[in-house]
């Protein structure tokens, strides 16, 4: 008979908010990676700091975000106006008295051995609220290239960024190079797993197996020009199957289901099966969100970017185009032209697919999980 050894489980607190789907999905990917890399060693909790702790009207930020995102000019103006070291410091200094109680209550009510932030708008307030706390905290940056000054606070014990461009900006905003790690964006384990039988999966969904699949995605909230892109492709005489993901945008889904489709078309709402959809596709048409781009890299998909949030996603477009992984096509006719070319010329499409896959960082979630574990003295 052997004595059982009780494992010292470390408590982790992840701070995120549902302002866009990327912060939640990155958090869930990290928790999944921790459980895979260090089974039974961590107790992880997620807190939406806006919704659960911040006062009105900030507690409605997850509901307000989609509406703000639909006005890209206003978004871009506010993003750029605050994206300086001095400007971001001033905003945080002015807002902290209003948010002090909420930030301190957040820290007090969630005891943890380590706090991990995956959202830019909590970092400065968190650091001030933890001024007398010995607990470490780290930041995992979930914007790809155009990283806002709000992400960066020198008091973080570690800052994890996805690209060298993001690292350069972090240094510019005062983060010591020794406190930075370039790793990539965390994605769910399922994106790393190929479909066992691609044709069989397509058949199970009612898709044709003899045509390339063009996957049009608008993000979890169905934002962007999904409707105009899909309708334009319908009139392009494409020899392809069209698959459109409308997210939570029920109005968009109903509008597209009513279209008289001239090519095989399949319309879906929100789905948790994106890894399979992407593995089964040949081309991805999407807005320039960092999560979708990173997932497309891993799946080796040529990318057509049709919209971006000014400021925040500008660098993502450059990263894709300069890496040869896709094109920027904000005009419908440009998107039509490149998709038509890739459908007609598989060799050119496959060259872009290889470039896309060369930019992938498939081990990012596992690597960040190991960095998190090191912070609290947990090793394999």
Same domain, 115 and 253: no
The answer to the question of residue 4 being in a domain is: no
Same domain, 195 and 183: no
The answer to the question of residue 130 being in a domain is: yes
Q: What is the 3-state secondary structure (H, E, C) of 287-315?
A: CCCHHHHHHHHHHCCCEEECCCCCCCCHH
Local structure of 284: helix, strand or coil: strand
Same domain, 167 and 247: no
Same domain, 126 and 235: no
pLDDT digits (tens, 9 = 90+) for 46-74: 999 999 999 999 999 999 988 888 888 88
Same domain, 194 and 95: no
pLDDT at 224: 59
Same domain, 292 and 154: no
Statement: residue 228 has pLDDT above 60: yes
Give the CB-side neighbour count of residue 346, counting CA atoms within 13 A: 6
Considering its fold, how many domains does the chain have in total? 2
Same domain, 125 and 196: no
pLDDT digits (tens, 9 = 90+) for 261-313: 999 999 999 999 999 999 999 999 999 999 999 999 999 999 999 999 999 99
Local structure of 324: helix, strand or coil: coil
Statement: residue 222 has pLDDT above 80: no
- Owning domain of residue 246: 189-358
Same domain, 336 and 265: yes
Q: What is the DSSP letter of 93?
A: H
Same domain, 20 and 37: yes
Same domain, 63 and 152: yes
Same domain, 135 and 225: no
- CATH number for the domain spanning 287: value is 3.40.50.2000
> Alpha-carbon distance 290 to 165, whole Å?
14
């Amino acid at each position: 008979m052997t004595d059982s050894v009780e494992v010292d489980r470390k408590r982790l607190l992840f701070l995120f908010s549902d302002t866009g789907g990327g912060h939640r999905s990155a958090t869930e990917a990290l928790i999944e990676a921790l459980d895979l890399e260090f089974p039974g060693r961590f107790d992880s909790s997620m807190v939406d700091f806006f919704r659960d702790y911040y006062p009105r009207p900030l507690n409605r930020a997850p509901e307000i975000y989609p509406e703000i995102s639909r006005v890209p000019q206003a978004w871009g103006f506010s993003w750029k106006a605050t994206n300086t070291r001095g400007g971001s410091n001033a905003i945080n200094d002015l807002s902290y008295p209003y948010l002090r109680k909420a930030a301190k209550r957040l820290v007090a009510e969630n005891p943890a051995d380590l706090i991990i932030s995956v959202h830019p708008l909590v970092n400065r307030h968190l650091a001030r609220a933890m001024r007398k706390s010995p607990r470490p905290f780290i930041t995992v940056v979930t914007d790809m290239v155009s990283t806002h000054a709000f992400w960066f606070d020198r008091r973080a014990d570690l800052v994890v960024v996805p690209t060298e461009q993001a690292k350069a900006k972090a240094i510019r905003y005062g983060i010591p190079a020794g406190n930075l790690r370039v790793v990539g964006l965390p994605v769910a384990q399922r994106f790393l797993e190929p479909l066992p039988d691609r044709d069989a999966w397509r058949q199970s969904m009612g898709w044709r197996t003899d045509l390339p699949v063009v996957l049009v995605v608008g993000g979890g909230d169905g934002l962007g020009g999904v409707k105009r892109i899909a309708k334009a492709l319908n009139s392009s005489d494409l020899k392809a199957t069209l698959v459109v993901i409308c997210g939570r945008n029920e109005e968009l889904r109903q509008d597209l289901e009513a279209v008289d489709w001239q090519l095989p078309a399949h319309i879906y709402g929100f789905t948790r099966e994106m890894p399979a959809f992407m593995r089964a596709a040949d081309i991805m048409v999407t807005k320039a969100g960092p999560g979708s781009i990173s997932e497309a890299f891993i799946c080796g998909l040529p990318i057509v970017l049709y919209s971006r949030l000014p400021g925040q996603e500008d660098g993502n477009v450059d990263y894709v185009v300069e890496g040869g992984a896709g094109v920027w096509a904000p005009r419908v006719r440009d998107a039509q032209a490149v998709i038509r070319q890739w459908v007609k010329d598989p060799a050119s499409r496959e060259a872009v697919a290889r470039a896309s896959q060369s930019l992938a960082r498939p081990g990012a979630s596992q690597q960040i999980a190991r960095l998190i574990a090191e912070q609290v003295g947990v090793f394999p």
